[in-house]
């Protein structure tokens, strides 16, 4: 009997693995991602700029590869999907890269940053402190958003830092943000990835809540204001 049970378990595991390998992107995700891009690109140089016809498919493919490399499964979150749509949109993800850098290299850098900080929780806190300190040097809406984001994100910081996938989003966004040439570009970039990780965030003078947008099956996706 033990041998039969083991065989049944093995078959179930194999079937589940096959299902995950061929899972399709949820039909509502591209439209939801498009709505998020629309609002975070408003009044920015990207506003109205044509998007690649395969942008949403590439974001899905890269997010699954990212997750598979990081923890050997492909059950991605909407936040991970948004992050890679954003990367493909702004940096390019040709040949499975992040702006020319192999995504595996980016994953190693995220892992190293967490280790350097002493774990996921202190790494997240370091990102929040960075947002405050760099944001204090910024001007206009970027400065106000940075200060507000640090305060807002700390409210569910333990939840985000305690999850492997969402902490990876925050760390990846932080590393990308640090590479931006201007102070405003740095804090604005982290604002976007912080929004993806936390589900809420200030983008300029707007506080957005995207925590439920991917669950809208019928009708137009709706981005809510923070409460």
Residue pLDDT, tens place only, 49-97: 999 999 999 999 999 999 999 999 989 999 999 999 999 999 999 999 9
183: in domain: yes
Angle between helices 103-117 and 164-178 (to 10 degrees): 100
In a domain, 130, yes or no: yes
Confirm whether 1 is domain-assigned: no
Examine the pLDDT at 15 and tell me if it is beyond 50. no
Q: Is the pTM of this model over 0.95?
A: no
Q: How many domains does the chain have?
A: 1
Domain assignment present for residue 162? The answer is yes
Mean of the per-residue pLDDT values of the chain: 89
CB-based burial of residue 91 (10 Å sphere; 0-12 exposed, 13-18 middle, 19+ buried)?
middle
In a domain? residue 17: no
Domain interval for residue 53: 26-225
- For tokens 């065989």, the residue is 7
């Amino acid at each position: 009997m033990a041998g039969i049970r083991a065989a049944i378990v093995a078959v179930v595991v194999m079937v589940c693995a096959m299902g995950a390998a061929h899972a399709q992107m949820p039909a509502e995700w591209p439209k939801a991602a498009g709505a998020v891009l629309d609002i975070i690109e408003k009044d920015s140089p990207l506003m109205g700029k044509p998007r690649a016809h395969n942008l949403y498919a590439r974001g899905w493919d890269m997010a699954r590869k990212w997750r598979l490399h990081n923890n050997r499964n492909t059950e991605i979150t909407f936040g991970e999907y948004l992050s890679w749509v954003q990367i493909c949109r702004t940096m390019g993800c040709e040949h499975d890269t992040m702006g020319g850098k192999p995504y595996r290299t980016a994953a190693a850098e995220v892992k190293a940053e967490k280790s350097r900080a002493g774990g996921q929780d202190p790494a997240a806190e370091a990102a929040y402190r960075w947002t405050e300190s760099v944001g204090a040097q910024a001007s206009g809406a970027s400065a106000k958003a940075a200060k507000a984001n640090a305060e807002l994100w700390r409210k569910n910081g333990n939840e985000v830092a305690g999850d492997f996938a969402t902490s990876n989003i925050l760390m990846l966004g932080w590393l990308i943000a640090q590479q931006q040439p201007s102070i405003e570009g740095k804090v604005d970039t982290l604002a976007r990835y912080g929004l993806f990780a936390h589900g809420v965030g200030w983008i300029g003078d707007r506080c957005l809540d995207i925590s439920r947008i991917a669950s809208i099956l019928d009708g137009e996706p709706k981005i809510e204001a923070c409460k």
